[in-house]
Amino acid sequence: MGDWGAGATPLRSNPEFFGGRIPWLKTGELNYDVIFETEEHITEKALQECSLRLCSQGDILIAMYGATIGKLGIAGIELTTNQACCACTPILFYNMFLFYYLMASKQIFVEQGEGGAQPNISRIKLVSHLFPMPPLAEQKRIVAKIEELMPLVEQYGKAQSELEMLNSNIREQLKKSVLQYAIEGKLVPQCEEDGTAKDLLAEIQAEKQRLYAEGKLKKKDLAHSTIFRDEDNKYFEKKGEQTTSIDDEIPFDIPESWKWVRLADLSVFLSRGKSPKYSDIKQIPVFAQKCNLKSGGISLDEVKFLDASTLPKWKDEYKLRHQDILVNSTGTGTVGRVGVFSESLLGDYPFIVPDSHISVVRLSSACNPLYIFEVLSSYAVQNYIEDNLAGSTNQKELYIGTLGRVLLPLPPLAEQKKIVHKIEEVASIMSR
């Protein structure tokens, strides 16, 4: 069906071989189009002495090696190629029919080339490849029909890409909308039997008092603020004897049975981790920023491990517990990323500790950690975090005090559970 031959690379150390007038093509220059110029040129001496093939105008060019394997071009001028490129001068074949058939066969060539240190298909594999051979006139009709349809195929490909992007954006926007509805109290109806957030806050304070009596909290941990509305519907925060207007901090209205509250007031432990000394002994893993995945969830696949001799540096409360909320607290692009820890991730590890780039939020047992996780993941809170980061552009940092001051809409516990269930239900539908 044609005359096949590969090129060669003249010895670069010989100055008499390069810088001439004869185009010399490398496979990286193949672009599924007609080649009219090349990046490099060789001399007549190189053509005569280096086993180079002079390709004719209209020859079909195909890459045989490496990452470009199966890539095509058409010689628009006389040219030579390197040894990674094979050229075919068709005999009784329309060159464009061969071009399109080779294009359709690319995946076959890629699979044939797999297995070696550098994938290659070789000239032998090309010439032994089976080709269908319609009459020449039919070859030309087939090519004409392909070229008639190709713009439609390209339009379809573009439309398909846009549709996939649109679907992805719609899912993301829908997820954000559902989450926003949830934290505004619009996702599930309020029920009087669920109680009020005011009662819930009283339970949280009672729990903190108990933990203080047991020596598990310090007196400073009992301090809390009360957020309320006055007769003019303006929001104020009372902490100790001081009352401050915070009306400009309230991003939206919430149901009457809910309360605005600071994250610190819901937490029984709120702290950054510590700087670890690492060890090659895979015994005690250290939770780092990369454990909070961009796609959501938590993975310990790439953890480093703690030098056990430094373990006394971490008190027991730093050992992560089931449903601790973990917040990335440094790093442009990762700061603010949130995850919920599960003890099931530990496997055979005895426990895990956080490094100094992670903030641990351990909530009162009167709160649903999955609800608070959803709130911390919301646009409103992520926007607050972004606006209140410290440090330079290259090293943004979320201070623990800033995290503790995050303002959260708090429903009764029963309603928190209903909201989490509804969010999971919607997420399941969207993933189908």
| pLDDT above 80 (res 114) | no
Question: Domains of the chain (ranges plus CATH)?
Answer: 2-133 (3.90.220.20), 176-431 (3.90.220.20)
Q: Give the tens place of pLDDT for each residue, 189-227.
A: 999 999 999 999 999 999 999 999 999 999 999 999 999
Q: 278-279 and 285-287: which strand pairing? A: unpaired
Q: Tell me, what's the pLDDT at 146?
A: 87
Q: What does the block give as tokens for 416?
A: 């928190």
Over 70: is that where the pLDDT of 168 sits?
Answer: no
pLDDT of residue 293: 85
pLDDT at 303 (0 to 100): 93
Q: Stretch 97-101: mean pLDDT, rounded?
A: 91
Q: What percent of the chain has pLDDT over 90?
A: 69
**What pLDDT digit, counting tens, does each position of 28-85 carry?**
999 999 999 999 999 999 999 998 999 999 999 999 887 788 899 999 999 999 999 9
What contacts 384, CB < 8 A, 6 or more positions away?
406, 407
Q: How confident is the model over 109-117, as a mean pLDDT?
A: 70
pTM (whole model) above 0.75: no
The mean predicted confidence, pLDDT, of the chain is 90
Given a contact cutoff of 8 angstroms between Cβ atoms, the answer to whether 260 and 254 are in contact is yes
Question: What interhelical angle do 413-430 and 136-183 show, nearest 10?
Answer: 170
Average pLDDT over residues 377-392: 90
Confidence of residue 186 (pLDDT cuts 50, 70, 90): very high
Checking if the pLDDT of 153 tops 70, the result is yes
pLDDT band at 118 (very low <50, low <70, confident <90, very high): low
Amino acid 339 reads: G
Q: How confident is the model at residue 394 (pLDDT cuts 50, 70, 90)?
A: confident
pLDDT band at 108, cuts 50/70/90? confident
Least confident of 35-39, 112-116, 270-274: 112-116
Mean pLDDT of 340-349: 93
Q: How confident is the model at residue 257 (pLDDT cuts 50, 70, 90)?
A: very high
Q: What are 242's strand-pairing partners?
A: 239
In this predicted structure, what is the pLDDT of residue 314? 86
CA atoms of 297 and 18, how far apart (whole Å): 56
Q: Is the pLDDT score of 163 beyond 70?
A: no
Say yes or no to pLDDT of 122 above 90.
Answer: no
Q: Are 27 and 85 in contact (CB under 8 A)?
A: yes
What DSSP line would sit under 106-149, residue for residue? HHHHHHHHTTSSS-B-HHHHHHTS------HHHHHHHHHHHHHH
pLDDT confidence of residue 116: 57
What pLDDT is recorded for position 296?
78
**Per-residue confidence band for 432, with pLDDT thresholds at 50, 70 and 90:** low
What would the pLDDT profile of 289-315 be if each residue is shown by its tens digit?
A: 999 888 778 999 989 999 999 998 889
Which residues 6+ apart lie within 8 Å of 91 measured at CB?
1, 2, 3
Residue 428 pLDDT grade (very low, low, confident, very high; cuts 50, 70, 90)? confident
pLDDT at 272 over 80: yes
Q: State whether residue 417 is helix, strand or coil.
A: helix
Asked whether the predicted pLDDT for residue 115 surpasses 60, the reply is no
Neighbours of 311 (CB within 10 A): 15
354: helix, coil or strand? strand
